Structure 1
Amino acid sequence: MSAKPSVLFVCVHNAGRSQMAAGYLAALSGGAVDVFSAGSAPADGINPVAVAAMAEEGIDIANETPKLLTPDSVRAADVVVTMGCGDACPFFPGKRYEDWELDDPAGQGLDTVRPIRDAIRARVEALLADLEVPSAGRP
């Protein structure tokens, strides 16, 4: 892994889980990690409930846009974290993959999305520790 690790978060629509995870990692790493997200079938926009849930944490993901997952984006990442994208993510031998089983926030209310958000934060903090990148603490 390079001096500055890179992490790619992948979910189907790149509108909820992967965007929340990318927002947390960018905020909590303080720029010490290159952060990317993509989806196997990107939505037209970010889930507004995910935006609201992250705003409660002081993280603004409102201006993010869903991006299409490409083999090049997977190839460029040191760590690829998948969240319900099944077999859509290209596999490259020697690449580090993690699969985070998380409920999909699509179509859910804020009370349902908050626990998903909190689970994502806990996993992002564990990933930071595993990468030996100190957490910048509360965003």
Structure 2
Amino acid sequence: MSDPSEQPEDLDTRVLQRTVTHLADRYAGIFPPELVERVVFESYATLARTAKVRTYLAPVAGHFAADRLAALAHAKDRDASGIPQVLFVGRHDTGLAQIAAALLAHHATDTAVVRSAGILPGPAVDAVVLEALAARGVEVGQVYPKPLTDDVVRAADWVITFGPRDAVVVYEHTVHQHWDVADLQDAAPERVQAVVDDLDHRVRALCADLRA
């Protein structure tokens, strides 16, 4: 039996059902409506396990489900877009993976699809991460820790891991790199800046590889 805290409220259920209808229309002929519904409600339940604030949980879950379905569609027809897909994986998706993903999205613009995920996703992105990115003029939009799911791993052309090196089982078509970067937990401001500089250097090199 699922945890009652993962069950949607009536209002959330209506929002999720509208999301199901919208995404089922978008992926008509690609995915059956039953799969779309399962992904939407599964995404809600997954995020509910770590969410401290549930006010916007249903819309966030809809965004997460839409991204997972996009990943599934890419994995199903990998040659359709030709745009490389990059996944950054951290322990909690609250620090290094979020910074690297935001920097790559900033530098690569529309030449790559960028995602981040956590092995044990935390409740929120670290405030120091948002401050460090804002100081560089990097737009982050709606960011939140996301669980690592097989659909995003399967879709990825590149997987970049932080922390545990073997935490992700990548597929044959995937390029895997492990970036040994210092953790940001309890780091002093100058140390945070040095880590972001390191990540920015690595991301720029990766961006050049993707474009090549």
The alpha carbon displacement at 1:90 in A equals 2.0
What aligned pairs does 1:1-139 form with structure 2 within 5 A after superposition? 2=79, 3-61=82-140, 63-132=142-211
Higher Cα radius of gyration = 2
Unaligned 5+ runs, structure 1 = 134-139
Q: Work out whether residues 15 and 42 of structure 1, in 8 Å CA contact, stay in contact via their aligned partners in 2.
A: yes
How many pairs are equivalent? 133
TM-score, normalised with respect to structure 2: 0.59
Contact 1:39 1:66 (8 Å CA) reproduced: yes
Which structure is higher in RCO with an 8 Å CA cutoff and minimum separation 6? 1
More helix by share: 2
Q: Which runs of 5+ in 2 are unaligned?
A: 1-77
Residue 111 of structure 1: how far off its partner (Å): 1.6
Taking only aligned residues, the RMSD between alpha carbons, in angstroms, comes to 1.6
C-alpha separation between the residues in 2 aligned to 1:51 and 1:59? 9
CA change 1:60–1:108 in 2 (3 A) is farther
Q: Which amino acid aligns with 1:70?
A: T
Report the structure, 1 or 2, having the larger strand content.
1
TM-superposed deviation, 1:91: 2.6
How far does residue 72 in structure 1 lie from its aligned partner after superposition? Answer: 1.7
- The one-letter amino acid of 1:49's match is V
CA deviation vs aligned residue, 1:67-119 (integer Å, no higher than 9, x gap)? 00112211101100001133221232231101000011122232211111111
TM-score (norm 1): 0.88
Q: Once the 2 structures are TM-superposed, how far is the Cα of residue 62 of structure 1 from its aligned partner?
A: 6.8
Q: 1:33 to 1:62 in 2, by over 3 A?
A: closer
